[in-house]
Amino acid sequence: MRLANKVAVVTGAGSGFGAGIAARFAAEGARIVAADLNDKAGQGVVARIEKAGGKAVYVHADVTDAADVKAMIGTALKRFDRLDVLVNNAGYSHRNQSLIEVSEEDFDRTYAVNVKAIYLSTREAVPVFRKQGGGCIINTSSTAALRPRPGLVWYNGSKGAVNTITHAMALELAPDKIRVNAICPVISATGMLETFMGKPDTPENRAAFVATVPLGRMSTPEDIANAALYLASDEAEFLTGVCLPVDGGRTA
């Protein structure tokens, strides 16, 4: 197993990419702290992991709240005695619309979930990693950071910040043997699909987006989980500061 004896915290683990990552990591031997705001969804992910023979615990966490994030990292230490991998996966976006029509509330929430949350979780995890002699951080970014779309200006900017933060963190934390990478997924049929499209989820509207992906389909949680598994594994021990597109050639 590629993550045997490792402990991973996954935010936004109740659905979409986070649920896929949590399940894949658990199947490869990791013990999982699944964090989410949706208790029913998060607990469901943990139940499915345990039913499959894995080990996981759910924690309710608002990733923009310092106390919740502290408790989230603390749960890994209390339940599993260590922390090896932190996956900053929770994400938020304003609806696809004119940049001047996005509300201040949506703007603030986009940057709080996509950017501030990384600051808060890093502040809690890095001292643990330093004490243990190393660790791994994976940030979920987006192709929006590499090839921005009109209508998602402020979301694009938040993910651009994720990529810059990832590069800078990788450089600063390298002496501590803490690797920091990001994954940049193309659009996926997750709960945020209509938000990104800014229009109803119809076969015709999906087809228009799929037409921009050379490999001819959207990404899936399994695609993102497989990439995260590699970055979290010891096979990637010499990779840091990478922002990896998982996009079917969209940004090539």
Catalytic amino acids?
155
Give the 3-state DSSP-derived string for 172-239, with helices as H, strands as E and coil as C.
HHHHHCEEEEEEEECCECCCCHHHHHCCCCCHHHHHHHHCCCCCCCCECHHHHHHHHHHHHCHHHCCC
| DSSP reduced 3-state for 10 | strand
Q: What pairing do the DSSP bridges indicate for beta strands 7-11 and 135-140? A: unpaired
User: What span, in angstroms and rounded, lies between the C-alpha atoms of 111 and 105?
Assistant: 10
